[in-house]
Structure 1
Amino acid sequence: MSPSPAGSAVPTSGSPAPRRTRLTPERERELFTAVVDLVREHGYEAVTMDAVAARTKASKATLYRQWESKPKLVATALRHLAVASPADVDTGSLAEDLRRMAHELIAHATEDTALLNGLAHAVTKDPELWQALHDLHIRPGLEMLDAVLRRAVERGELAEDNPAKDYVVHLVLGAFGTRKLIENTDVDTEFMEKYLRAVVFPALGIA
């Protein structure tokens, strides 16, 4: 939008300032979900405001009025869909807790990997976008894992000074990326069970 000519920046009674369109919470969530779906399908760089407008049946003018730019729209969509408090995992056993968490990752691997891949390059250039992705996909899992490991220490299952404790998330998530890269095959339950028993459990001192 072009800047107002000199002397017309302050609206008069005859020309009211433009108002932001108010969307219902349901409409906002529908729009944000569509934005994230587009990033999964096509990658961040390929998504345009025109594509968002077409998918959501919204005018491009409304999108720009509400969010100003694609980076802000995508970051807002990610934050809006973020899980405020992930469902707790507490089976009373560290091994079983880790199995449950790994199986949850497998259940959502397709859509999560598509989103991460779609944003992989963009987040290295845009700290706000990285933070939004972290809030949506990284932070909830880290908080849950911290709680699982803390309870294991309290139960005496895990030594508090175990050096592998800080790298569990790297071990588990690394299995997803490396199997696809090396074998061109997705991680499944059978593979993850063998991987936990051979790599993760021994590192944590789980018999």
Structure 2
Amino acid sequence: MPTGAGPRRVQEIFTAALDLLTEHGYDGLTIEAIAQRAGVHKTTLYRWWSSKDELLAAAVTGSALLEFPVADTGSLRGDLLAVATRLSRLLTRPATAAVLAAVPGRPLLAEATNAFFTGRLTRDHPVFTRAVERGELAADSDADLVVDLLAGALWFHLLLCGGSADRRYLARLVDSVLTGVSARRA
């Protein structure tokens, strides 16, 4: 679907798709149920998306439910803590879990999920630009690597290990990324 194009009730459709995916799983999700929940005709959905996978891929990348603002707390540590908090909330949302569970064996959905996470994390690059301007971060720092460290640790901790990420855990994670974990050498 081209940018700016789509049905008038696109956000309602995306919300319905993600809610129903959460409630019934991928196999229980139907175009008819999405149309009914969104209050549109199923022909509207088929006009814009040829399959359930196409509609879900569009919902993953275009739903306002999965948006979050770029952090600007005035410090790199505060911004990274805000990024980690947002990401933790995103990863533990039932809709996110349902999408991730639906990805295996569905290349279109996998591609959309990858684009979603890459796009959301790339949007945090101003955090690093501001930190360089404030003198908190070296100009040659690798912003992508810092984000990978945060996101990868959270992904592993929350989704693979079944852990939780309270404020204390997130602060320890951010501090470890910022200062490293090895003993300082003179």
Shared topology, TM-score over 0.5? Answer: yes
Change (3 A) 1:39 1:65: same
Match of 2:84 in 1: 102
Cα separation, 2, equivalents of 1:173 and 1:62? 37
Q: Aligned residues: percent identity?
A: 36
CA RMSD of aligned residues (A): 3.4
Aligned residues: 176
Q: Who is 1:6 aligned against?
A: none
Partner Cα distance (1:29, 1:173) in 2: 27
Change (3 A) 1:175 1:150: same
Residue in 2 aligned with 1:141? 121
Unaligned runs of 5+ in 1: 1-22
Q: Alpha-carbon deviations, 1:123-159, whole Å to 9, x = none? A: 4555543443345444133222x11112222332212
Q: Report the Cα offset of residue 190 of structure 1.
A: 1.5
Report Cα offsets for 1:50-103 as digits up to 9, x if no partner. 4324434555455334422112222233343259x9533233321111112222
| 1:32-65 Cα distance to aligned partner (Å, 9 max, x none) | 2100222233433442224324434555455334
Residue equivalent to 1:75: 57
Partner of 1:200: 177
Q: TM-score, normalised by structure 1?
A: 0.66
Q: Structure 2: state its 5+ residue gaps.
A: 1-5, 182-186
Q: Answer with 1 or 2: which has the greater Rg.
A: 1
